[in-house]
Amino acid sequence: MKRTKIKELLNAEAALDPVLVKGWVRTKRDAKSFSFIELNDGSCLANLQIVAAGELANYDEIRHLTTGAALSVQGRMIASQGAGQKWELQAQNLVLIGSSPDTYPLQKKRHTDEFLRTIAHIRPRTNKYGSAFRIRALLAHAVHQFFNDRGFFYIHTPILTASDCEGAGEMFRVTTLSPQIDNIEEDFFGVEANLTVSGQLEAEMMALALGDVYTFGPTFRAENSNTRRHAAEFWMVEPEMAFCDLKEDMAVAEDLVRHLVRTVMDQCPDDLNLFARFVDKQLMPRLEKLVGTCFERLPYTEAVKILETAAQDFEYPISYGADLQAEHERFLTETYFNGPVIVYDYPETLKPFYMRLNDDARTVAAMDVLVPGIGEIIGGSQREERHDILASRMDRMALSREKYWWYLESRRYGSVPHSGFGMGFERMVMLLTGIVNIRDVIPFPRTPKHIDF
């Protein structure tokens, strides 16, 4: 007999007989001569209530079932006689698949996130983390759906690379040499190789052939960042669009955010509700605001003016030419506008070489999407498509023309205006769940000094 997932059973319109379910015991309550077992199989947040009567042949074994044990239960699903759930399963045959000794670390009570991080192999079995990872999966699917619906092609860019996309951020070195050998020519690639910090440069090449493309893959930063918003390994979504200017780029970014929020609200109401109730009381109002209002847009120059005249003391002073600090971004999106904001046209000196120089020759066509609670969730730009301007900008930033010869060459043959952006996938999961630590939205997070599991 084929097993039925609990999600399907709980959504059933009518009683079913017989059914087979398999899952893990979340909790058990005993009456005098029978027991209630809450069984969860991960298909949804809710448990299925199993009623195990004292007449069952192995009832003595059932009586000793512990939290975490794996079961196979066959029986009939009927309308529940108790309040609190629509359906329950009256067990006719209950088999213990895997027992769970009393050292099982999860209990039917709240644990701290810090403790659960030390048992990352077990924590997906909790309500909160189960919901977070189901939402994460749906979100990944929604990313593909969004781009596929708009005629974008999903492309794969290299994980191993010899190029440093932005000249910013420490990279993880990849080598097959033993530590004593320092002759790079003997290394696997014969040159210094690293894990990618962005697929953008390669994605541009693909956009200049396929039109609209996107990448969605892992990214690696060796920065010694110890914050709740940074991980050494994270996932990034990077669309790249030919014949697209900054304005259209911003429109796609806004549409993407809105699509992702709406999809999760529509398709994960139960999981989302857990976060709205127990993690962040302001979650639903914030999400509704994200789908319901247009993102505020303002040039960097105006953002600086607002910050300069703000009735608020900042730790870091702000003036034209200074980068926006976390406190400045937070003020704009959380206090001044109280909603999503896109800041664009940043001073040329603040941004990487590939961003397109504006006509004022002082700013580049860059944009950052800022959201309450997270800060920067998307960063993008129109790319410099004019060969000579790009080349001279690379010279000024001391980047080797030889090393990026292929990137420059794309500007020689049929170069066109094109734009793109990068969206931190984990930050989107944080935005959607109210989870404040990136280590809690990645099943097995990697941060400095942490690579267990």
* Residues 157-216 contacting RNA, CB under 7 A: 166, 168-169, 198
- Count of residues of this chain found to bind RNA when the rule CB under 7 A is applied: 71
**81 near RNA (CB under 7 A):** yes
Q: Which residue spans within 175-232 are E strands per DSSP?
A: 193-195, 212-220
Least distance CB 173 / RNA (angstroms): 17
Least distance CB 181 / RNA (angstroms): 25
Instruction: Identify which range of 135-143, 150-158, 223-231, 392-400 contacts RNA by CB under 7 A.
Output: 223-231
- Asked, as a colleague might, if the bond just before 18 is cis with ω within 30 of 0, I would say yes
**CA-to-CA distance for 361 and 347, rounded, in angstroms?**
9
Site for RNA in 249-308 (CB under 7 A): none
**130 near RNA (CB under 7 A):** no
**126 near RNA (CB under 7 A):** no
With vertex at residue 209, the alpha carbon angle to CA 205 and CA 214, rounded to the nearest 5 degrees, is 65
**450 near RNA (CB under 7 A):** yes
Of the residues 98, 182, 309, 449, which one makes contact with RNA according to CB under 7 A = 449
According to DSSP, residue 355 is labeled: B
Instruction: Identify which range of 224-232, 243-251, 288-296, 340-348 contacts RNA by CB under 7 A.
Output: 224-232
Round the CA-based radius of gyration of the chain to a whole number and report it: 26
Site for RNA in 93-122 (CB under 7 A): 102, 105, 107-112, 114-115, 117
Least distance CB 264 / RNA (angstroms): 18
**229 near RNA (CB under 7 A):** yes
> Using N-to-C axis directions, what is the helix angle for 246-267 and 283-292, rounded to 10°?
140
Backbone conformation region of residue 434, classed left if phi is above 0, alpha if psi is from -120 to 50, else beta: left
Site for RNA in 310-349 (CB under 7 A): 316, 323, 325-327, 329
**85 near RNA (CB under 7 A):** yes
Of the residues 178, 180, 183, 226, which one makes contact with RNA according to CB under 7 A = 226
**239 near RNA (CB under 7 A):** no
**31 near RNA (CB under 7 A):** yes
**76 near RNA (CB under 7 A):** no
Q: In one letter, which amino acid is 431?
A: L
**CA-to-CA distance for 378 and 161, rounded, in angstroms?**
23
**240 near RNA (CB under 7 A):** no
Binding map of RNA across residues 367-406, x = CB under 7 A, - = no contact: --------xxxxx---------------------------
**CA-to-CA distance for 249 and 366, rounded, in angstroms?**
10
| Residue whose CB is less far from RNA, 17 or 409 | 17
| Residue whose CB is less far from RNA, 92 or 325 | 325
For the chain, what percentages of helix, strand and coil (3-state, to nearest 5) are there?
Answer: 35, 25, 40
Measure Cα distances from 102 to 10, 127, 438 in Å. Answer: 29, 20, 31
Closest CA to 418 of 238, 266, 264: 238
| Residue whose CB is less far from RNA, 77 or 135 | 77
Give the pair of three-digit tokens for residue 443. 């099943």
Q: Is residue 343 within 8 Å of residue 299, measured between CB atoms?
A: yes
Q: Is residue 293 within 8 Å of residue 301, measured between CB atoms?
A: no
| Residue whose CB is less far from RNA, 187 or 280 | 280
- Which residue(s) pair with 27 in the sheet? 38
Least distance CB 373 / RNA (angstroms): 10
Site for RNA in 415-434 (CB under 7 A): 422-424, 426-427
**436 near RNA (CB under 7 A):** yes
Other C-beta atoms closer than 10 Å to the C-beta of 65 total: 20
Q: Dihedral (C-alpha) 354, 199, 144, 133: value to the nearest 10 degrees?
A: -120
| Residue whose CB is less far from RNA, 193 or 369 | 369
| Residue whose CB is less far from RNA, 172 or 189 | 172
| Residue whose CB is less far from RNA, 346 or 404 | 346
Instruction: Identify which range of 23-31, 91-99, 145-153, 241-249 contacts RNA by CB under 7 A.
Output: 23-31
| Residue whose CB is less far from RNA, 158 or 190 | 158
What burial letters (b/e) apply to 121-148, b meaning 16+ CB within 10 Å? eebbbbbbbbbbbbbbebbbebbeebbe
| Residue whose CB is less far from RNA, 144 or 450 | 450
**CA-to-CA distance for 268 and 264, rounded, in angstroms?**
5
- Which residue(s) pair with 371 in the sheet? 375
**245 near RNA (CB under 7 A):** no
| Residue whose CB is less far from RNA, 189 or 306 | 306
Least distance CB 103 / RNA (angstroms): 7
| Residue whose CB is less far from RNA, 38 or 385 | 38
